[in-house]
Structure 1
Amino acid sequence: MLMLNLYYVWSLILFLMSMFFLCFCLNFMLFDHSLMIEWVLLSLNSVSMSYFIFLDWISMGFCFVVFFISSMVVLYSGVYMGSYNYSSIRFLLLVLMFVTSMMLMIVSPSLVSIMLGWDGLGLVSYCLVIYYSSLKSYLAGMITCLINRLGDIGLLISVSWLFGYGSWNFMFYLDYYGNLIFYLIMISSFTKSAQIPFSSWLPAAMAAPTPVSALVHSSTLVTAGVYLLIRFYNYLIFMNYFFLFVGIMTMIMSSFCANYEFDLKKIIALSTLSQLGLMMSCLFMGLVDLSLFHLLSHAMFKSLLFLCSGVIIHLMGGGQDIRTMGSVCVSLPLTCSCFNIANMSLCGFPFLSGFYSKDFIVEVGVFNSLNMFYMIFFYLGLGLTSLYSVRLIYYTLLVSYNYVGFIHSSLGKSIYHMKYSLILLSIFSLTFGCMFMWLTNLDLGFLMLPFIMKILSLLMVLLGIYLGYEMNLISYLMPNKYYFLNGSMWFMYSYSYSLFEVSYMYSLTLFKSMYWGEYYGGAGLSFYLVKFSNLMQLMFLGSLKGFCLMLIIWLFFLI
Structure 2
Amino acid sequence: MCSSSFLVLISISSIFFLSSLLFLMKDYTIFLEGEVVSLNSASMVMTPLFDWMSLLFMSFVLLIASLVIYYSKEYMSGDLNINRFIMLVLMFVMSMMLLIISPNLVSILLGWDGVGVVSYCLVIYFQNVKSYNNGMLTALSNRIGEVAFLLAIAWMLKNGSWNNIFYLEVMKNSVEMEIIGALIMLAAMTKSAQIHFSSWLPAAMAAPTPVSALVHSSTLVTAGVYLLIRFNILLSGSWLGDLLLLLSGLTMFMAGLGANFEFDLKKIIALSTLSQLGLMMSILSMGFYKLAFFHLLTHALFKALLFMCAGAIIHNMNNSQDIRLMGGLGIYMPLTSGCFNVANLALCGMPFLAGFYSKDMILEIVSLSYINLFSFFLYFFSTGLTVCYSFRLVYYSMTGELNCGSLNMLSDEGWIMLRGMSGLLVMSIVGGSMLSWLIFPTPYMICLPSYLKLLTLFVCIVRGVLGYLISNVSLFYFNKSLSNYVSSYFFGSMWFMPYISTYGIINYPLILGGSVCKSFDQGWSDFLGGQNLYNELVKYSQHMFVMHNNNLKIYLLLLALWIIFLFSFFLMF
The total of aligned residue pairs comes to 519
| 2:143 counterpart residue number | 149
Secondary structure of 2:49's counterpart equals: strand
1:441-456 residue pairs with structure 2 within 5 A?
441=440, 444-456=443-455
| 2:17 counterpart residue number | 22
Find the aligned partners of 2:511 and 2:276 in 1 and give their Cα distance.
Answer: 38
| 1:428 counterpart residue number | 427
Contact 1:239–1:286 (CA under 8 A) maintained in structure 2 = no
RMSD: 2.5
Residue type at the aligned position of 1:313: I
Find the aligned partners of 1:149 and 1:480 in 2 and give their Cα distance.
Answer: 34
Find the aligned partners of 2:241 and 2:56 in 1 and give their Cα distance.
Answer: 27
| 1:542 counterpart residue number | none
Residue type at the aligned position of 1:492: M
Shift of 1:528: 10
TM-score normalised to the size of structure 2? 0.86
Contact 1:53–1:107 (CA under 8 A) maintained in structure 2 = yes
Contact 1:317–1:408 (CA under 8 A) maintained in structure 2 = no
Give a deviation string over 1:395-446, Cα, whole Å, max 9, x none: 111121111213235x543x11111221110111111111111112265211
Shift of 1:242: 2.1
Find the aligned partners of 1:363 and 1:520 in 2 and give their Cα distance.
Answer: 59
Find the aligned partners of 1:329 and 1:237 in 2 and give their Cα distance.
Answer: 50
| 2:99 counterpart residue number | 105
Are 1:470 and 2:469 matched, yes or no? Answer: yes
Contact 1:238–1:284 (CA under 8 A) maintained in structure 2 = no
Q: 2:120 aligns with which of 105, 126, 139?
A: 126
Shift of 1:47: 9.0
Cα distance change, pair 79–178 in 1 and its aligned pair in 2 (3 A): same
| 1:546 counterpart residue number | none
Cα distance change, pair 262–21 in 1 and its aligned pair in 2 (3 A): same
Find the aligned partners of 1:196 and 1:45 in 2 and give their Cα distance.
Answer: 41
Cα distance change, pair 443–398 in 1 and its aligned pair in 2 (3 A): farther
| 1:77 counterpart residue number | 72
Find the aligned partners of 1:67 and 1:377 in 2 and give their Cα distance.
Answer: 33
Secondary structure of 1:35's counterpart equals: strand
Give a deviation string over 1:325-358, Cα, whole Å, max 9, x none: 1111112111111100100000011111101111
| 1:492 counterpart residue number | 497
Residue type at the aligned position of 1:9: S
Shift of 1:522: 7.1
| 2:547 counterpart residue number | none
| 1:543 counterpart residue number | none
Are 1:387 and 2:375 matched, yes or no? Answer: no
Contact 1:189–1:224 (CA under 8 A) maintained in structure 2 = yes
Q: 2:49 aligns with which of 45, 50, 54?
A: 54
| 2:230 counterpart residue number | 231
Are 1:164 and 2:158 matched, yes or no? Answer: yes
| 2:559 counterpart residue number | none
Cα distance change, pair 389–502 in 1 and its aligned pair in 2 (3 A): closer
Percent identity (aligned): 46
Shift of 1:514: 1.8
Shift of 1:45: 11
1:293-332 residue pairs with structure 2 within 5 A?
293-332=294-333
Contact 2:43–2:161 (CA under 8 A) maintained in structure 1 = no
Gaps of 5+ in 2: 534-573
Find the aligned partners of 2:366 and 2:376 in 1 and give their Cα distance.
Answer: 8
| 1:368 counterpart residue number | 369
Shift of 1:40: 4.5
Find the aligned partners of 1:246 and 1:108 in 2 and give their Cα distance.
Answer: 27
Cα distance change, pair 33–485 in 1 and its aligned pair in 2 (3 A): same
Cα distance change, pair 505–355 in 1 and its aligned pair in 2 (3 A): closer
| 1:539 counterpart residue number | none
Secondary structure of 2:32's counterpart equals: strand
| 1:270 counterpart residue number | 271
Cα distance change, pair 477–32 in 1 and its aligned pair in 2 (3 A): same
Give a deviation string over 1:34-76, Cα, whole Å, max 9, x none: 0012245568999965321000001001001100000010000
| 2:198 counterpart residue number | 199
Find the aligned partners of 2:442 and 2:272 in 1 and give their Cα distance.
Answer: 27
Cα distance change, pair 383–520 in 1 and its aligned pair in 2 (3 A): farther
| 2:241 counterpart residue number | 240
Shift of 1:243: 1.7
Are 1:291 and 2:285 matched, yes or no? Answer: no
Contact 2:201–2:270 (CA under 8 A) maintained in structure 1 = yes
Find the aligned partners of 1:37 and 1:524 in 2 and give their Cα distance.
Answer: 52
Are 1:8 and 2:7 matched, yes or no? Answer: no
Residue type at the aligned position of 2:251: T
Give a deviation string over 1:240-278, Cα, whole Å, max 9, x none: 322211000000000000001000000000000000011
Cα distance change, pair 43–200 in 1 and its aligned pair in 2 (3 A): closer
Residue type at the aligned position of 2:462: L
Shift of 1:497: 4.7
Secondary structure of 1:448's counterpart equals: coil
Cα distance change, pair 513–101 in 1 and its aligned pair in 2 (3 A): closer
Residue type at the aligned position of 2:417: M
